[in-house]
Amino acid sequence: MDIGTRIGVVGAGTMGAGIAQLAATAGHQVALVDLSREALDRASTSMQQTFKRLVEKGRMDEARAESILGRIQFSDSIGAMKNAGLAIEAIVERLDAKSNLLRALEDTISEDAVIATNTSSLSIAALGAVLHHPERFLGLHFFNPAPVMQLVEVIPGVATEGRAIGAARNLMEVWGKSPVLAKDTPGFIVNRVARPYYGEALRIYDEGAADIATIDWAMREIGRFRMGPFELMDFIGHDVNYVVTRTVWEAMYFDPRFKPSLTQLRLLEAGRLGRKSGQGFYDYRPGAVAPQPQEDRLLGERIFERVLAMIVNEAADAVLYGVSTVDGIDAAMTLGVNYPKGPLAWADELGVKRIVAVLDGLMNEYDEDRYRVSPVLRRLSGSGGRFKEMRSHA
Ligand code: NAI
């Protein structure tokens, strides 16, 4: 399947604009479509500013910046993308809106074009089912900001044909990305494996075992994560982060491992969405005093081990259910959300036995399904094996 030179992107918000910029930088003619003229204007202005900065910093010459921008056509009609070899939708995260758009797209573009969705939580199978030709439809899940983040999760639906998958993967490599194949399961790789980073931190806080500043400190100082879970949730926004958690929990038939936190729901209900609203777990208003962590190394180690063990457990389960390979999962977590190490390589380094001991300790204490050990971890722990050895045939 040849995607050719023309790319269409629908939705000129954060993600669509980023994807359009990426495609134009890779040399494509791009049609960027949105219902809203304001969204198109905002996308155009923000791209001009981005390229102006790149030119000022000497990272790009003006002629190149102009030619990239000149390759993007901003339009309020999907008719503008009728010659596209690949159409990517990045509109609002709603099944009805996306289904309607996909139907219209199929009627507009050629029969052999590939159609992709940038959805973060909807089922690829469900979205594809509205098409006459779901075999050329798949998920291409980019990360924000799309021009910068290396990871693209490539998600075939049950009906997707190999040639569409191959064409999309090749193209992502040409664009300089690291495509990782993921199964069409809730949260795909990153939004599933990352859940315990928030969920277990919230649980520790809800139990009163440590305060937010201390948990953030432990994950930054001991775990070497770029941001602690609470500052990260505030940064993402509780409207987005809570909804992703709830969606994954519901889609996993209410598996207790993914159970959302009432504390986070209360923040959302109160309109304390995080940085963007001035308050979340932390107070961002002028003059606010930041809470100080309790820099207790022993407590910090315990917090870090508990959260990491839960992430590893989730990653191990993702291997068990074929969501991706060991390498795919580690690559996704380092390239998509900047984890300092892939969770499975981390487990090898700390010792699978140690991770299992932490989880067994939690299970012993709470007696909840949430802490049951993944059979993959149990097996490796019993045999003294390592994830590294599973890499080639996972
Ligand atoms: P956004 O709200 O910034 O942009 C969505 C745009 O779609 C808006 O400009 C809106 O006017 C437009 N739109 C809505 N319905 C439309 C229609 N029927 N036809 C044409 N345009 C329409 O949203 P954002 O954050 O860019 O997200 C877009 C998609 O990407 C969602 O599916 C989201 O789940 C997914 N995603 C978001 C990430 C993020 O970090 N923001 C990361 C990865 C995926």
* Catalytic residue list contains 141: yes
pTM to 2 decimals? 0.95
Residue with tokens 């995260």: 93
CB of 19 shorter than 6 A to ligand 1: no
Phi-psi region of 255 (alpha: psi -120 to 50; beta: other; left: phi over 0): beta
Strands 178-181 and 86-89: unpaired
Strands 72-75 and 29-33: parallel
Give the pLDDT confidence score for residue 20 in this predicted structure: 98
Q: How far is CA 139 from CA 20, 74, 92, 164, 394, in A?
A: 16, 23, 15, 11, 22
Can you tell me the distance from the alpha carbon of 229 to that of 198, in angstroms, rounded to the nearest whole number? Answer: 5
* Catalytic residue list contains 153: yes
Can you tell me the distance from the alpha carbon of 341 to that of 331, in angstroms, rounded to the nearest whole number? Answer: 9
Tokens representing residue 392 in the block: 């080639």
Q: Whose CA is nearest to atom 13 of ligand 1?
A: 91
pLDDT per position as a tens digit, 88-111: 999 999 999 999 999 999 999 999
Mean pLDDT value across the chain: 97
Contacts for 293 with CB less than 8 Å, ≥ 6 apart: 211, 213, 214, 216, 217, 218
CB of 35 shorter than 6 A to ligand 1: yes
Question: For each successive 10 residues of the chain (394 residues), what is the average pLDDT?
Answer: 92 97 98 98 97 96 97 98 98 96 97 96 96 98 96 98 97 98 98 98 98 98 98 96 95 96 98 97 97 97 98 98 97 97 98 98 97 98 94 54
Can you tell me the distance from the alpha carbon of 178 to that of 202, in angstroms, rounded to the nearest whole number? Answer: 31
DSSP label at residue 264: H
Q: Whose CA is nearest to atom 11 of ligand 1?
A: 36
Give the pLDDT confidence score for residue 392 in this predicted structure: 54
Give the pLDDT confidence score for residue 1 in this predicted structure: 76
Which helix (H) or strand (E) segment is 88 a member of? strand 86-89
CB of 151 shorter than 6 A to ligand 1: no
CB of 101 shorter than 6 A to ligand 1: yes
pLDDT per position as a tens digit, 311-325: 999 999 999 999 999
Measured torsion, CA atoms of residues 140, 143, 145, 151, in degrees rounded to the nearest 10: -80
